[in-house]
Structure 1
C-alpha cells in the first residue's frame, strides 16, 4: 500500500474500481447511485452522495480512509460533523466503527477491487525522480486536455498575483496609478534588482514626478537621487547637475534615498545594469506619466508596445554604464524581450486585476488576449516541458506551465491535475 489517501479519493470519485457485486463489510448489497462532490474543506471527504444499502436509499456524506481505524485516529467518533456519514470507504477494513448514537457505520473495502495496474501507474507518477512526475507521459496526452488544464492554471496564477495587487491597492487607498507605478518599478528590476527598485519607488511617489513632468532633468535627478546614486563626488557636468538638482528636491519633498549598496551589478550584462534601467525608467516617466490610465485606454497590443519603445533616455547613457565610467556606444533602449516581460508581468496582470476588482470581464479578456499575443517564455522550467512534448505557442501557455509546475508538480498533486488524471485513466 504505497499510496496516500488522496489516491482513494481519485478511485472513489472516478469509480476506478471493480464495482460489480458490491457489498458492505457486513454483507449487505451496495449500489452507488452518486459518489458525491469532493470536499476540499474541513469535514467529510465527499458531500451529497447517494447510495443504496439493502433496500434503503441513503443521502449524505462519504468519508474515506486507508484503514477503518483511521476514523478513531482522527477523532471522528467525537465530532458531530461526521454523524451524517452514510458510508465509510477504506482500502483495508481493520476495525468496526460506530457512530455517536451507537449505530454501526457501513464500510466498503476496496483492497481487492483496485487493479494492480492502476496502483502501478500511480506509483510510477509519484516515485519517479524526474523534474516533474509525468515527464515521460505528458507528451502523449491529448493537446486539448493539456491546454484546457493550462487555462485553469493560468487563471489560478493570475488570481494569486492579483492578491498582491489588492494588498498594495488597499495600502494606497485605492490609487490604481500609484499601485501600478510600484509594480512597474519592481518589474524594471527584474529578479535581481526587484527589491531596490520597489523601495526606490516608495521613496518618491508618482505624484511628485507628475509635478515635474515637463522637466526631464528634474525627473532624472529624482530617480537617481532616490536610488542613492548621487551621494558621490562628480567631475562630469551631467551627474554634478543631477546632484545639485536633487539636493534641492530632496529637501522640498523630504525624500530619503535608499542605500546604494542594495543595487546589484555582479554577473550582469552591462545593458541590464541598474543604472541603465533607472535611466530608462526616468525616460518612461517623462514620456508617459500616469501609465496605468494610458494602458486602460490603449486596446491594441502594438500600441501598448510603443509606450516602452523609443524612450527619451539622456544621451549621457549612450557612453556610460555607470557614473564616472566612460565606455563604447551603449544601446539605451529597452530590448524586445524586456518589453515582453513588462507587458506580461505588469500590464497583463493589472488588466486582469482591474477586471477582477471591478467585476469587468472586458479587462480580463484584454489580459488574456495580450498573453496570447506574447511569445512563450523560455527558461529552465518551460524548456523541460517543451522537451517532454508540450507545445507552448504563447505566454498564456508558458504562464500556465509555471503554475502547473509550482502548484501541482512540485506538490505532487497529480490527482488534482487534469493532466495527471488523464494519464491514470489511459489504458
Structure 2
C-alpha cells in the first residue's frame, strides 16, 4: 500500500461516499475533495466537508496510518494547522492540533470496494520490467491514444527546457541554439555531449563569418575537437591545421580542451570525422538555417534541406592519412529522421512556445511519417502487444517508460488509472 493509491481513491472518490462516518462516529459528507497540490504541505487544499451538519473548509492530509502524522512531524509544522480531516487507510492513534482539539479521521478501508484494492494489488505486483506488463494490452484503445498524445507533448516540453537554457546562454540567439542542438545530435549518443561542447566553444558569430569557406569551418570544428593536434603527412590535414591556428589568432580564440571524440563501436559512416564534416557542409550550404528549419512542415522538405555531403576529401577517407574506397557520404534518410525527431520538432515547438503561439498538430503529423525508432524500450512494449506504428508512438512510449514506469507513477498514468477501474 502506498499513499499515492489513497490520493487516487480520495481525489476521484473511488469509495462509497454514502453514509460516511468519521472514526469518532460523526456523520461526514464530502462537498469538495480539494485541490491536489503535489507540493510540500497538506495533500489537498481548500476542501469542503460537513461533519454532523457543520460545514468545514480547509485542507486534507492523507496517510497510510494515523501515526504517520507524528512520523512526518506534522505536529511541529504550522502548515498543518488548517487540516480539517485526516484520511487514512488504518486508524491506529488519535491526532491532535496544537490547541489539543482532535482532528477528525476517515478510515478508508471501511469504504473501498475490494475489487479496486484487488486491481491495485494486481497492478503493483512485483514487476520484471513495468508493473502493468501483463495487463497493458487490455487498456481501452481510446484511453491509450489520448494518453500517448499527452505523453508526446510532455516529452516535447521536457526537450524544450535545455533549449531555453541555451537561449539564455546565447543571448536569445536562435541560430546559435540550433547550431548547438544539431551538433549534439550529429554526435549521436556516444559523441553527442562532446559535439555540444565543441559547438559551445566556438562563438556562433565566427561560424557565421567563416561559413562561406567550408575548409575554414572544418578547421575550426576539427581543431576544437582535438582532431588536428597530431602531426600527419596528409596535405588536407596540414591545410586544416594551418587554417585552424590562423583562425584562432584572427578571432583571438582560446584553444579549448575538449574530451576526445570516440571512434570505437561506431560504423565508419558515423565516425566523428564524417559527421563533423557534414555539419560543416550544412552551415556552408545554408546560411540563416534557423529560418529555413522553422518553416519545415513535411518530411520530404526535411530530406531536401538535409541533402548534405561531406567534403570531397572524406569521400576517400574515414580518418586522416588512411585512404578508403570511394564513397559519397551524404546524410541518410534514417539519420535525417533522427534530426527531425531530436532537433527540428523540439526547436519548432520551443520557438512557437516562446512566441506565445498555438502549438499545432503538425508535429504529430510529421512524426507519423517517420518509422518508429528501434531500441530496447520500443521492442519490449511490442512484446506486450503495444506496437509502435511510427515515431509518434515510439516517442510517446519512451516518455511513458522513462517518466512514469521507471518512477512507479502508475496512479498518475492514464493506463494505470484505467486498469484500476472496476471491470
Both proteins in one fold, TM over 0.5: yes
**Equivalent position of 1:157 in the other structure:** 155
Q: Distance in 1 between matches of 2:176 and 2:283?
A: 12
| CA deviation string 1:114-151 (max 9, x = no partner) | 34443333233223222111111111101221121222
TM-score, normalised to structure 2's length? Answer: 0.93
Residues 334-360 of structure 1: per-residue CA shift (max 9 Å, x gap): 111111111111111111111222212
Alignment correspondent of 1:315: 312
Q: 1:386 aligned to 2:382?
A: yes
Indicate the residue corresponding to 1:52 in structure 2. 50
Q: CA RMSD in A?
A: 2.1
Aligned-pair distance for 1:37?
A: 2.4
Deviation at 1:47, TM superposition (A): 2.2
1:216 deviates by 2.4
Partners of 1:200 and 1:257 within 8 A in 2:
no
Corresponding residue for residue 376 of structure 1: 372
Please state how far the C-alpha of 1:265 moved relative to its aligned partner: 1.0
Whether the 8 Å CA contact 1:153–1:400 is kept in 2: the answer is: yes
* Partner-residue secondary structure (3-state), 2:218: helix
Report the more deviating stretch, 371-380 or 281-290: 371-380
Unaligned 5+ segments in structure 2 are none
**How far 1:196 sits from its partner (Å)?**
2.0
Matched, 1:402 2:398: yes
Q: Output one character per residue of 1:22-54: Cα deviation in whole Å (capped at 9) or x when no partner.
A: 211121222223322222112221223232222
The answer to whether structure 1 residue 422 and structure 2 residue 397 are counterparts is: no
- Per the alignment, in what secondary structure is the counterpart of residue 262 of structure 1? coil
Alpha carbons 2:123, 2:419 under 8 Å: kept: no
TM-score between both structures, scaled by the size of structure 1? 0.92
- Kindly indicate whether the alpha-carbon contact (under 8 Å) linking 1:226 and 1:255 is maintained by their aligned counterparts in 2: no
Moved more, 198-207 or 140-149: 198-207
| Runs of 5+ unmatched residues, structure 1 | none
- Alignment partner for residue 347 of structure 1, among 326, 344, 348? 344
Kept in 2: contact 1:37–1:49 (CA 8 A): yes
Using the TM superposition, name which of 129-138 and 298-307 deviates more.
Answer: 298-307
Q: Following the alignment from structure 1 to structure 2, what is the Cα–Cα distance between the partners of residues 322 and 330? A: 14
Length, aligned pairs only? 423
Contact conserved, 2:42 with 2:60, CA < 8 A, in 1? yes
Equivalent position of 1:357 in the other structure: 354
Asked if structure 2 preserves the Cα contact closer than 8 Å seen for 1:225 and 1:243, the reply is yes
